[in-house]
Amino acid sequence: MRNTFFKCIYLATIVIVGFSSCQKKINDAYSSPNAPVRVPIETILPGVIGGFTAFNSAAGTNFGLQADDILLGRYIQYWGSTSSFENYGEMGGTIGSDNTGAIWGAVYYGHGQNVNRIIEWGTEEQKWDFVGVAYAIRAWGWLELTNQYGDAILKEAFNTSQSQFHYDTQPDFYDSCRVICFRALDYLNRTGGNVNPTNLAASDAYLNKGDLGKWKKFVYGILARSYIDLSSKNIFAQNHYADSAIKYANLSLATNDDNILATFSAATSANGFNSYFGPTRQNIGTIRQGGYIANLLSGVNSATFTGVADPRAWYMLSENANGTFKGVMPWLGVTEYGGSSPTKDFPKNFWRNPIANATVGGAVDSSRYVYTNKGPWPLMTASEMQFIIAEAAYKKGDKDMALTAYKKGISLDFDMLNTTYEFNIPQGHSITPTSKNAYLSNTAVVPAASGGLTLSQIMLQKYIALYGWGTHQTWTDMRKYHYIDKDPQTGNQVYTDFTPPPTAPTNYLISTNNGKYVYRCRPRYNSEYLYDIPELTRIGALNTDYNTYECWFSQP
């Protein structure tokens, strides 16, 4: 990775220099252009927080979760392009493009040296709260990075004296993530020095608003994810990882008030003020919800939640002109709905434009859920933590605990929609206590006894609860069950009815995959494939099917 990729953009301040009778030399008057300019860390943190979703700067933009989500969501059939035979819909990847490189850019550039400076200068200034937040962000980044790309740069990261870098393994990243989590907690628990809740709240206005309790719970949630992501490995039971996943999820977000939500001011039409998924930025106009999620919420999945119309559909999905919920197969796009003049079954776009094949918002903004300009965009929710507990407890054989957590996870998701996203819902379709209770009382959804709970039910309710925003975590979940692994209790797929691009009678899987499913993304093109060729050669990243190499977290 070229060293200039790690140089950060700081928010500059204008300094007026007063001259005395003593003339200053040029080198005294001006800093070295190659040395970092010291600025208040309070001015760095807002941009770093923006890097969770879509970091923007003059030297690099749209690094973060949201840009990659648009493409990765096709692998898990959250949505698909309106174009048929589309690359990512066919589980493909590219060499020669920065597509799916947004997390790489976020971690190494958007966060990168900016996080390092907050830690360095915050330590010198005894601003322990800022240091703790910076370590939390770094821990999040290491886990997201390695789950998306597999091997990446860890030990040599941010070494500006190098132009090429050695890649480290996933176990290294998982270990480092956990170590940094505990370091973050140590600093977040410190008092004294120059800890100042007002300063942190001002810099953290669009995420946790300076609430250190929420930052600590976020860190515990990262730890919980780091253990549940290994739930298909043999060591999950042997090393008590299930217990660790449960422990840290219980220490993490407990109620919807704890949810980690990124928000946007939408004060102007400028990109940095609006969500990447909102109608103003027009980034998702050519995608439509997947048929898989539409079927799950409509009760037409053949084996799970069959016959149950889910009240959450009116919040999370787009109805069509017939008032029903349909979706696309990612590799077919609009083809299955009649092509350029689609039928009335074709779903509206996520901004509810009534024109079937529209790519922009409607004349009146009727966006719902996470598709608005202001968000909020969840990074982690209490509902997710309950599904982590449910899966871990199920794997260790405690089905009573699993059922309790499973039911609570569904309940929390209903309540989040009913409070955080109660806007632009058509009259008569809002969630009510009656509709919620009817859903939770339906034994096709929540079994009467814990012995009837299945792994499919847990993972599919988590799939629903994370729909739209939790693309990266859901992709991790689906890969650890290899997309089509069987539920040992039922003999059906864990993700029942999920069909990756078929290879026969027509091959819809991208030809360069050599018949295999996608398991990782390539490192970012405009740093790695231009400058780090020896290391890419060593790990096989120049091979056409590198994106099908299975990651360590999903191997036995």
What is the SS3 assignment for 457? helix
We report the CATH number of the domain holding residue 17 as: 1.25.40
Whole-number percent of the chain with pLDDT over 90? 88
35 pLDDT more than 70: no
Residue 31 pLDDT level (bands cut at 50, 70, 90): very low
Round to whole Å and give the CA distance between 216 and 26: 46
- Phi (first) and psi of residue 53, to 5 degrees: -105, -60
Answer yes or no: do 300 and 428 share one domain.
Answer: yes
Q: Mean of the pLDDT values across residues 253-263?
A: 98
* Concatenated DSSP letters of 228-242: HTTTTSTHHHHTTHH
Predicted TM-score (pTM) of this structure: 0.94
Q: Mean of the pLDDT values across residues 177-205?
A: 98
Answer yes or no: do 34 and 182 share one domain.
Answer: yes
Answer yes or no: do 454 and 371 share one domain.
Answer: yes
Answer yes or no: do 186 and 301 share one domain.
Answer: no
Whole-number percent of the chain with pLDDT over 70? 93
From 228, 246, 268, the end of a domain falls on 268
- Burial zone of 238 (CB within 10 Å; 0-12 exposed, 13-18 middle, 19+ buried): exposed
Q: What is the pLDDT, as a whole number, of residue 19?
A: 26
Answer yes or no: do 244 and 298 share one domain.
Answer: no
Residue 427 pLDDT level (bands cut at 50, 70, 90): very high
Each residue's pLDDT tens digit, 448-467: 999 999 999 999 999 999 99
Q: Is residue 535 part of a domain?
A: no
5 pLDDT more than 90: no
Q: What is the pLDDT, as a whole number, of residue 141?
A: 98
Answer yes or no: do 104 and 215 share one domain.
Answer: yes
Least confident of 25-39, 148-162, 235-249, 541-555: 25-39
Q: Mean of the pLDDT values across residues 82-103?
A: 95
Q: Is residue 70 part of a domain?
A: no
Answer yes or no: do 118 and 142 share one domain.
Answer: yes
Answer yes or no: do 108 and 184 share one domain.
Answer: yes
Q: What is the pLDDT, as a whole number, of residue 255?
A: 98
Q: Which of 79, 73, 89, 499 is nearest to 326 (CA)?
A: 79
Strands 60-63 and 55-57: antiparallel
Determine if the peptide bond prior to 502 is cis (ω within 30°): no
Round to whole Å and give the CA distance between 520 and 147: 8
Q: Where are the beta strands (DSSP E) in 277-389?
A: 287-289, 377-380
- The helix or strand, by DSSP H or E, that contains position 416, with its residue range, turns out to be helix 399-420
Each residue's pLDDT tens digit, 100-123: 999 999 999 999 999 999 999 999
Q: What is the pLDDT, as a whole number, of residue 36?
A: 64
In angstroms, the Cα distances linking 262 to 12, 207, 323, 530, 531 are: 24, 5, 31, 33, 34
Q: Mean of the pLDDT values across residues 13-41?
A: 46
Q: Which of 178, 177, 251, 259 is nearest to 211 (CA)?
A: 259
Answer yes or no: do 153 and 106 share one domain.
Answer: yes
From 237, 268, 299, the end of a domain falls on 268
Range of the domain at 127: 3-63+100-268
Q: Is residue 530 part of a domain?
A: no
486 pLDDT more than 60: yes
Answer yes or no: do 332 and 252 share one domain.
Answer: no
Write the CB contacts of 546 (distance below 8 Å, at least 6 apart in sequence).
Answer: 93, 520, 522, 539, 540
58 pLDDT more than 80: no
Q: Is residue 94 part of a domain?
A: no
Q: Is residue 260 part of a domain?
A: yes
Q: Where are the beta strands (DSSP E) in 469-526?
A: none
Measured from the Cβ of residue 441, the count of other Cβ atoms closer than 10 Å reads 10
Q: What is the pLDDT, as a whole number, of residue 22?
A: 38
Q: Is residue 123 part of a domain?
A: yes
Each residue's pLDDT tens digit, 302-321: 999 999 999 999 999 999 99
From 480, 497, 516, the end of a domain falls on 480
Least confident of 3-17, 71-85, 365-379, 392-406: 3-17
Q: Is residue 197 part of a domain?
A: yes
29 pLDDT more than 90: no
506 pLDDT more than 50: yes
Q: What is the pLDDT, as a whole number, of residue 61?
A: 83
Q: Mean of the pLDDT values across residues 251-264?
A: 98
Query: How many domains is the chain built from?
Result: 2
Answer yes or no: do 261 and 281 share one domain.
Answer: no
Q: Is residue 550 part of a domain?
A: no
345 pLDDT more than 80: yes
Mean pLDDT estimate for the chain? 92
Answer yes or no: do 167 and 312 share one domain.
Answer: no
27 pLDDT more than 80: no
Q: What is the pLDDT, as a whole number, of residue 9?
A: 34
Q: Is the dihedral of CA 310, 312, 318, 321 positive or negative?
A: positive
Residues in the chain: 556
